[in-house]
Structure 1
Amino acid sequence: MPHANQPSGTYRVQIRPDFGFKDTAELADYLADLGVSHLYTAPILTAVPDSEHSYDVVDHTKANPALGGEEGRLALKAALDAAGLGLVVDIVPNHAGVAVPAANPTWWDVLKNGQDSPYAKFYDIDWSRGRLLIPVLADEPDALDQLRVEDGELRYFDKRYPIADGTGEGTPREVHDRQHYELVDWTRGDAELNYRRFFAIVDLAGLRVEDPEVFDVTHREILRWYAEGAVQGLRVDHPDGLRDPGGYLQRLHEAAPDAWLVVEKILEPGEEMPDWPVAGTTGYDAMADVCGVFVDATTEAFFDTLDHHLTGGETSWHDLVHQTKYHLATTQLAAENARMCRLVPEVERAGEALAELAACFPVYRSYLPFGARHLARARSEAGRRRPGLIPALDQVTARLRNPSDELAQRFQQYTGAVMAKGVEDTAFYRYTRFTARNEVGNDPSKFGVNLDEFHNITHDRQRRWPAGMTSLSTHDTKRSEDVRARLAVLSELPGDWTEVVRRWVRAAPLPDPALAHLIWQAAVGAWPLDRERLHAYALKSARESGVGTSWTRPDEKFENALRQMVDRIYDDPQLHAEVSRFAESITEPGWSNSLGQKLVQLTMPGVPDVYQGTELWDFSLVDPDNRRPVDFGARREMLARLDDGWQPPVDATGAAKLLVTSRTLRLRRQRPELFGAYRPVYAEGRVAEHVLAFDRGGVVAVATRLPVGLSRHGGWHDTALTLDGHTWTEVFTNTSYGGNRLSVAELLRTYPVALLVKE
């Protein structure tokens, strides 16, 4: 359906305390010059004090004072209005921040008054346990002896908790034992927690937004901004955590009927989204396809061999995912499993059966009755893997099919968390065959995407979700678009990569060979990067992987070995020179891929989003690396030079990427009528498969793919595109072309991409 407030393009800013409303307002004129129609920000409601990301909202009634409060928000609105820009805001309906109870008035009231609190129904709490379990104490037997009563509150070091009326007499422990909450050892949270949370994060408590009153209170301020014309679009964070995502989105759509709504819904390859009243997803599916078409799918077997040689890896991606998901389902998410088991006391081994079904679930979740076939698939696979569990599987599955059964509702919330934690946050760090494809929304066992596949998928996107968002980098991606584009070059050089990486793993050994392969790919993909960044990335990757060390049980010996490995890259002159040389050899073809995938994303069906800073080369790794400050001054200056007529080379400055980004975004904003269709354009000639081109209805995008192979063939030769006999203007070089057949060599003489507009 067409959306009244559909942007032509958005620009994502990680608004945060050190880059608040004022700093963001100062970008308005630059973003308008860049060519977007809307600023798109991280959440702006009041978050936990000092929050770096704002997804831990503590007060839904006002704009975040740490960002500049209501005054700052209005100043941002004025700046956007003056620049002719709209605003898309990220909202978090699934959970609230509870790390600092005193900062969250509703949670504080629940702690103080228990089930008698008017806010008790705001949170998804199982009161059958009695007291609300708060896992914050040190893992020491006498931790409760550290409690103090001060200013009418219970204190544990710097943490503060309320005291219920009439319970404040006696020793701190006696006072504690009379409260509606129980402070316990932090290690007990995963198994015993009695409130729903976001994934395995105890500091984010699940909201019952399916309750109309909770919806109204948590959305009133956001909807006020919409009503006053300050917000035209909403990006809904983590809808999979909700009890009834479809019902929630229907209510949101009715409350903001003209808003452009997109959902952070991660679709597995081939998965369909339910028919919700939204414009589409936030674009991870598009990212998987765009990056995949720049990968040489024919070299997969080489990478299988290399992976086997480096790691002895006998485990397939499919089996690895099953292992990591089952492990997460029964450890970090054991509390959620136990809560479901309490709903089926009559079923023996219910916990195992539910965990096994979740481990076998092929997608993030179903939305019953939509997606019931996924449950059938999971049941069949679970029975194959665990024949002894079949009686329990059959008993629970009978209930999981019923959309109105609470067990089925909770199971749908559980499978999404199991998938996210087991796959994105664990398996992606263990399966390191070719990490350009280890990205949110992609299946790493799908090595590449061929031209026909790409055109079919994209044609379908035009038909079904033409107003959804498309992305290449986000605050959640495991590596930025330019790192992936450079790593895609490895698929064209499997022999060269095999030779160097086998030498490097011997020169700088690590007890976990799969992790070593991940780090070497990150190093060449983001090179040159300073030692601290690579150290931080390696440590996070190791702890996420959970093989040699972990977040909850750090292994000092392993982490020392990891530090030594990274240090060798910088301290061994020969190794350092070799890594630099290799990274340099894949840099130029990486630039070609970067420009190609950027042009494709900016012109394909959907609303393109540019993540902050990525209008120039951006070689960021996983967060927090991708949240580093952006030099907007340099970008402004460079854009002004381009507007003065500078024709930049493709070089380390990234100016060519800024040219492609700004010219394409401006065209989409000025002439949306040229972007209403999708038709593949196939090249003819000896190296035709190196051209990716499509016509959007008056605009033809042309990108080079597999640039190393192209140069091996000696260039474009006779390759040509057949277009109708109009005159076409190429936007980046401002050159006119006439006639029916266009020589690709001539068209791509200056840049590896071209954008043709029909005159």
Structure 2
Amino acid sequence: MTVPESTYRVQLRPEFPFTEAAEIAGYLRDLGIGALYASPVLDAAPGSTHGYDVVDPTRARPELGGEKARQELGRRLKEAGLGLVVDIVPNHMSVEVPKANRWWWDVLTHGRDSEFASFFDIDWDRGPLLLPVLGDDAAVAELSVEDGELAYYDHRFPIAPGTEGGTPQEIHERQHYRLIGWRRGNAELNYRRFFDITNLAAVRVEDPKVFAETHGEVLRWVADGDVTGLRVDHPDGLADPGGYFRRLRENAPDAWIVAEKILHPGEPLPQSWPVDGTTGYDALREIAGVFVDPAGEPGFTELANELGVKTGYHRVEAEARRLVTDRILVAEVRRIAALLRDVDPEAARQAVAETMIAFPVYRSYLPEGTAHWAAAIAGARQARPDLAGALDALDAQVRAEPGGELATRIQQTSGMVVAKGTEDTTFYRYTRFAALNEVGGNPDRFGLDVEEFHRLAAEREAGHPAAMTTLTTHDTKRSEDTRARMAVLAEIPGEFADAVRRWTARRGIDEPSLNLLAWQTLVATWPIEPSRLRDYLDKAAKEAKLRTSWTDHDEQFEADVAAWPDDVMGDAELAADVEAFVRRIEGPGYANSLGQKLVQLTAPGVPDVYQGTELWDFSLVDPDNRRPVDYAARRGILARITDGELPEIDASGAAKLLVVHKALRLRREHPGLFRGYRPLRAEGAAAEHCLAFTRSADLAVAVTRLPIGLDAAGGWRDTVLPLPGGVWTDVLTGREATSDLATLFGRYPVALLVRGDA
């Protein structure tokens, strides 16, 4: 099996195609990376900036350079000694531009007689395929016929052979599809989609023929040795994730395979999945959490309550999930409820909805993990005792037929309810302390203690040592450095609360949860361009769905939010106050960033570096985190470091690149040092401020945590880190190490130690 020592995630797009990725192969090699990890590379919707909207899985994307450029990228990576990990999307395909997806176009043309009708998850028994693309149902009068196709403004749809003639409206009534008002999609759609995105139609990869057609090209690249690893997007949406991974492993026996599976605290990865681990959101939660001070929780709860921000996490989450089942995924819930036998339709709908709302994890995988299914049923019974009969019937039918359609659909849809309700709604409503509001996060758990971190790291080494670890991805709500600076606030809750009170009185946003999120975001990303902050707050407000949303706009509120960044930064006195506060937390934020990065790069698992984050990166949620990366600047800094420069910890971020480079090079050139895991505990007055561990007898890692509290208590004082006997050297500085932490951390708040000539 080809397990990379590390990966570097690159977001390919028409402006950064295969040729541009090939140009950074030498830089990644010099940085210490083991494999380039690419966003989806198969043909995607025209102009796609991310590639998850695949339209043709049988060819490399022409807008990225096509097959020839893909092969050249593979050649350049091999020359540099790098592997290639590719992100694949088995759950869905884009149908936004029907003609771009030849399979979908054929289905629209021929209906259930299409050779591709079984490729998509369509409920043909409910009549013609409903396409919610019109402004409203009356807009069918605006259809025309152009070049032998039905046209609605820029949209084009096929006309089935033999159905021509008459008005456009008469032709439309003869097709295998019906164009309907877009607002009807959530309630009436008769094909499964990706979350609430009607432009992404679900694909039935549980069918061996569909699997072969959708995976054949990528598997050819694996067989040819061009692709060494696969990252599988959203397996929870599949009918049978375990069966899918077993088939994938059979066809790619030597590939490194990781699943984008979000694990709740304490939830194990299904044992039957033949994968190397997850894509690392669990590691992110643990690594980021150990840099958050639990003592800050009461202060932030008090501030949130004072401002009118809800602090009952589970109540907020349940409300958000119910919004999803009752307003957003109505069609999916009804389709599932119709499968429940001998139960009143409305009672069945409510029972299905309540069960998915109560899921303690994203989904269950019956017959594996029955405890999670049982917990969901129990939670639904507690919330709605009046539905006991319907819930009993649901539980009995699912348990009796764990491979049946009812069990399959409710399990693959529960992940949509949890993700849409929690990540995409609750995390923008429950803004008490936003550093915890991360994909795979647990916002009602304020931080992680050192001993629990050690236990979880040891478990990863024992169970999934080749799992990916990460701190930033294309899906995270904020980048690692934004989160690290935000974590500093947990050490000074009183100071931050006083500042927020002053700032809110002067320029507050008239919606409490967004107001508190905005101030946290402003100090965590300062200095930020007003346009970037404006776009972020607009998305946050719409995702929260409190005062406005993507579909039901409050124009005045959106205008007020859009004006806020310029209003704040144009208020000289307020801006100066914010800037002074940022200076207070900037240095400790850098310390947190270096600490969490060194831990991620050296702890158990395969570390991923998201594009550009080898320097400070204060990004927010997508698309902000897909901005272009200045590789020329990074090459220049790396050259100085390889020449021996020990950069200062300053706004340039060079100190972070030093840490990334030294750790990755050591990991790639001496992999034997990174075996095993044991806690290493400091002793003395400030011991709680040191997180340390060994990976082997000859490698130790030590970092600073809670730096403001450390400084306030008088620094390291007599605190020591008892190192095993022998001469130890700090790889970061090249200097001989000492057990005295004040000396060890004299140059940097982190240390990467090797013993002897190891």
TM bin, normalised by shorter chain, reads over 0.9
- Residue 46 (str. 1) matches residue 43 (str. 2): yes
Counterparts of 1:672 and 1:483, CA distance in 2:
30
| Aligned residue number for residue 715 of structure 1 | 715
Opposite residue 108 of structure 2, the aligned amino acid is L
| Aligned residue number for residue 170 of structure 1 | 166
Q: State the 1:59 CA deviation.
A: 0.4
Partner residue of 1:112 out of 92, 109, 114: 109
Counterparts of 1:158 and 1:400, CA distance in 2:
44
| 1:8-407 map, 5 Å | 8-139=5-136, 141-275=137-271, 276-311=273-308, 313=310, 316-344=312-340, 346-348=342-344, 349-401=347-399, 402-407=401-406
Counterparts of 2:453 and 2:128, CA distance in 1:
54
Counterparts of 1:189 and 1:52, CA distance in 2:
25
Q: State the 1:376 CA deviation.
A: 1.2
Counterparts of 2:600 and 2:674, CA distance in 1:
13
Q: State the 1:561 CA deviation.
A: 2.1
Counterparts of 2:302 and 2:228, CA distance in 1:
50
Contact 2:667 2:674 in 1 (8 A): yes
User: 1:184-221 CA distances to partner (integer Å, 9 max, x unpaired)?
Assistant: 00000000000111111001000000000000000000
Opposite residue 144 of structure 1, the aligned amino acid is V
Which range moved further: 74-83 or 533-542?
74-83
| Aligned residue number for residue 724 of structure 1 | 724
Counterparts of 1:602 and 1:676, CA distance in 2:
13
Q: Secondary structure at the match of 2:721?
A: strand
Q: Secondary structure at the match of 1:62?
A: strand
Q: Secondary structure at the match of 1:736?
A: coil
- Residue 670 (str. 1) matches residue 669 (str. 2): yes
Contact 1:147 1:173 in 2 (8 A): yes
Q: Secondary structure at the match of 2:540?
A: helix
Q: State the 1:558 CA deviation.
A: 1.1
Contact 2:538 2:558 in 1 (8 A): yes
User: 1:97-147 CA distances to partner (integer Å, 9 max, x unpaired)?
Assistant: 1000100010000000000000000000000111000000012x5301111
Q: State the 1:312 CA deviation.
A: 5.4
Q: Secondary structure at the match of 2:601?
A: helix
Opposite residue 309 of structure 1, the aligned amino acid is E
Which range moved further: 12-21 or 383-392?
383-392
| Aligned residue number for residue 740 of structure 2 | 743
| Aligned residue number for residue 642 of structure 1 | 641
Contact 2:309 2:432 in 1 (8 A): no
Q: Secondary structure at the match of 1:696?
A: strand
Opposite residue 599 of structure 2, the aligned amino acid is V
Opposite residue 533 of structure 1, the aligned amino acid is R
- Residue 703 (str. 1) matches residue 703 (str. 2): yes
Which range moved further: 217-226 or 293-302?
293-302
Counterparts of 2:564 and 2:66, CA distance in 1:
46
Q: State the 1:298 CA deviation.
A: 1.6
User: 1:656-693 CA distances to partner (integer Å, 9 max, x unpaired)?
Assistant: 00000011001110111111100000000000000000
Counterparts of 1:312 and 1:188, CA distance in 2:
33
Counterparts of 1:472 and 1:673, CA distance in 2:
24
Q: State the 1:382 CA deviation.
A: 1.3
Contact 2:98 2:156 in 1 (8 A): yes
Contact 1:568 1:575 in 2 (8 A): no
User: 1:691-750 CA distances to partner (integer Å, 9 max, x unpaired)?
Assistant: 00000002111000000011112211111111211111110100123xxx7111111100
Opposite residue 463 of structure 1, the aligned amino acid is A
Contact 1:731 1:754 in 2 (8 A): yes
| Aligned residue number for residue 445 of structure 1 | 444
Which blocks of at least 5 consecutive residues in structure 1 are unaligned? none
- Residue 693 (str. 1) matches residue 689 (str. 2): no
| Aligned residue number for residue 427 of structure 1 | 426
Counterparts of 1:656 and 1:312, CA distance in 2:
38
Contact 1:326 1:358 in 2 (8 A): no
Counterparts of 1:213 and 1:430, CA distance in 2:
43
User: 1:556-601 CA distances to partner (integer Å, 9 max, x unpaired)?
Assistant: 1111221233332111111111111111211000000000000000
- Residue 556 (str. 1) matches residue 535 (str. 2): no
| Aligned residue number for residue 411 of structure 1 | 410
| 1:472-487 map, 5 Å | 472-487=471-486
Counterparts of 1:458 and 1:241, CA distance in 2:
28
Q: Secondary structure at the match of 1:331?
A: helix
How many residues are aligned here?
Answer: 751
Counterparts of 1:515 and 1:541, CA distance in 2:
7
Contact 2:309 2:513 in 1 (8 A): no
Q: State the 1:511 CA deviation.
A: 2.1
| 1:492-531 map, 5 Å | 492-531=491-530
| Aligned residue number for residue 579 of structure 2 | 580
Q: CA RMSD in A?
A: 0.9
Opposite residue 469 of structure 1, the aligned amino acid is M
Counterparts of 2:83 and 2:564, CA distance in 1:
48
Opposite residue 620 of structure 2, the aligned amino acid is L
Q: Secondary structure at the match of 2:292?
A: coil
Contact 1:135 1:185 in 2 (8 A): yes
Q: Secondary structure at the match of 1:742?
A: coil
Q: Secondary structure at the match of 1:320?
A: helix
Q: Secondary structure at the match of 1:16?
A: coil
Counterparts of 1:185 and 1:425, CA distance in 2:
24
Opposite residue 693 of structure 1, the aligned amino acid is A
Q: Secondary structure at the match of 2:288?
A: helix
Counterparts of 1:212 and 1:285, CA distance in 2:
31
Kindly, what percent of the aligned residue pairs are identical? 56
Q: State the 1:341 CA deviation.
A: 1.9
Counterparts of 2:515 and 2:405, CA distance in 1:
44
Contact 1:13 1:42 in 2 (8 A): yes
Q: State the 1:510 CA deviation.
A: 2.0
- Runs of 4+ with deviation above 3 angstroms: none
- TM-score (normalised: structure 2): 0.98
- TM-score (normalised: structure 1): 0.98
Contact 2:340 2:397 in 1 (8 A): no
Contact 2:309 2:430 in 1 (8 A): no
Q: Secondary structure at the match of 2:656?
A: helix
Contact 2:309 2:431 in 1 (8 A): no
Q: State the 1:344 CA deviation.
A: 2.2
Which range moved further: 615-624 or 399-408?
399-408
| Aligned residue number for residue 566 of structure 1 | 565
